[in-house]
Amino acid sequence: MSVNEVKILVSDKLSQDGVKILQDTPGFTVDVKVGLSPEELQKIIPEYDGLIIRSATTANQQLLEAATNLKVIGRAGIGVDNVDVPTASAKGVVVMNTPEGNIVTTAEHAISMMMALSRQIPQATASVKEGKWEKKKFMGVEMFNKTLGIIGIGRIGSIVVRRAHALEMKVIAFDPFISHEAAEKLGVELVSLEDLYKRADFISIHTPLTDETRNLLNSTTLAKLKKGVRIVNCARGGIINEADLAEAIKSGHVAGAALDVFEQEPPAKDNPLIGLENVIFTPHLGASTTEAQENVAVAVAEQFVDFFVNGITRNAVNMPSIPAEQVAVVRPYMALGEKMGSFIAQVAEGAPKEIKIKFMGDLTQVDARPVTQAIIKGILEHYVGATVNLVNAPFLAESRSIAVSSTSSSVKRNFASLLGLTLVSEKGAINIEGAIFLDGEPRLVRLEDIPIEAVLEGTLILAANNDRPGVIGAIGACLGTHNVNIAAFHLGRQVSGGKAMAIVNVDSVPDSAVIAELSKIENILDVKLAKL
């Protein structure tokens, strides 16, 4: 596309610094139209090549279907919940965000909420405005020398660590996916969740909302907390069970909470936390500072210039950068790499320390960096959540001190191209290999030196076992008893009577009780579950 033909629509309020960058770019026509109704936006969107939004505009399927010329959507912020990413991907529309623009602001908001909570500043302010002078009522607590427990020490959590150290707090953290070396650099003691619950005077949450973190703090876990703990959540609603938290506060076990996010936003009027005096709230203001708004505006504008003028895609959540002539070769291996990464992350134990990738055969003749990105994305999504994308995955690995290396060999071993992957953790290493078959299907072809051909799709049960009669039948009988249907059963072994591997594709996700029962079968050594 010629730069002279680019039309960009800014449909949400954007800092003038970002708008000016776009307006000053030769060939760009920029229209700022804020407050359009969905119908109005849908009517004019066919005119535009680029759309910049914040949280007010929803780029849903209807809008994307009408956007016949749209090439890119830029979200001035980190979240893309208001963008139908699958539809955008299917239509070839790149979706970008600005993940670095508001991390300091969010971290500072968490510290501010902690301070306000410890000294009851909002409540005291309201009291004075009512003409009262209740000095004895609003007795606070110091943060100095208190233990802060941080759940998740990624980009935002690590900034909170540094701010807490400046306040002379003792900082402990739970993050199973960061190495001890990285934690030591931050000056943080890594602990288990159970230990954090017992020791923390304050808890600050900085983890994404995933299946594993949903309702992380509930009636059971809240009961394990140190009596008098104060809880801050500026991450995502749904990580704390709000009804259970209300009960813990009413009982006096939890001294108070400061929440910037809710499971339902805005919260319902009958939310049990709303009426509690020792809970303070803000309306999802973590990223709401002048500086943050300027940062994300400038970032998204610069990304648009790079995209349209320089052909560079940065911070895309739905596509990598691949030379056009290599797309047909690289794309299938990106899909394979991401599935292999997801699989190995789910069956590994311990915090990842190193990712080793080996490209073999014809893969050495193309730029395989997008495959590396896809592998890292697949691995880190299990640990970090859905915010990982093909662009930020290498930086997230680096921030967690996870070393990434790759080697190449032109030697072809049974396959035209072969992809090898080793994940090294504090508890050991796991090696796998994968290939693309003639039908285009990504398959696992080797697991820990055992040749095995398995389809990397759906729900998989991995069972390591001694090669003895009856094991396969026992696995099938157990799954049948629990009404778990087997879609495919893949077997591999080193030598007769030695160690063997079974990978079972099933049609439904077995619960933990089924996995535990499988583990008790005679000659079964270990059982893992992976969902791809």
Burial state string for 307-322 with b = 16 or more CB within 10 A and e = fewer than 16: bbeeeebbbbbbbbeb
Catalytic residue among 109, 284, 400, 490: 284
Q: How many CA atoms lie within 13 A of 264 on its CB side?
A: 10
Side chain identity at residue 51, one-letter code: L
If residue 300 lies in a helix (H) or strand (E), which one and from where to where? helix 290-305
Contact indicator for 189, 171 with CB cutoff of 8 Å: yes
DSSP states along 48-63: -SEEEE-SS--B-HHH
Q: Is 302 a catalytic residue?
A: no
Would you state the structure tokens that stand for residue 484, as one six-digit string?
């778990």
- Give the residue from 325, 324, 304 showing the smallest Cα distance to 315: 304
Would you state the structure tokens that stand for residue 419, as one six-digit string?
């992809």
Give the integer Cα–Cα distance in Å for 209 and 330: 31
Contact indicator for 200, 229 with CB cutoff of 8 Å: yes
Give the integer Cα–Cα distance in Å for 20 and 18: 5
Largest CA distance in the chain: 85
Catalytic residue among 206, 236, 446, 490: 236
Contact indicator for 382, 308 with CB cutoff of 8 Å: no
* Coil/strand/helix, residue 431: strand
CB-based contacts of 282, cutoff 8 Å, min separation 6:
109, 113, 259, 260
Q: Is 294 a catalytic residue?
A: no
Q: Is 236 a catalytic residue?
A: yes
Helix, strand, coil shares of the chain as percentages rounded to 5? Answer: 35, 25, 40
CA dihedral for 409, 414, 416, 422, sign (positive or negative): negative
Active-site residue numbers? Answer: 236, 265, 284
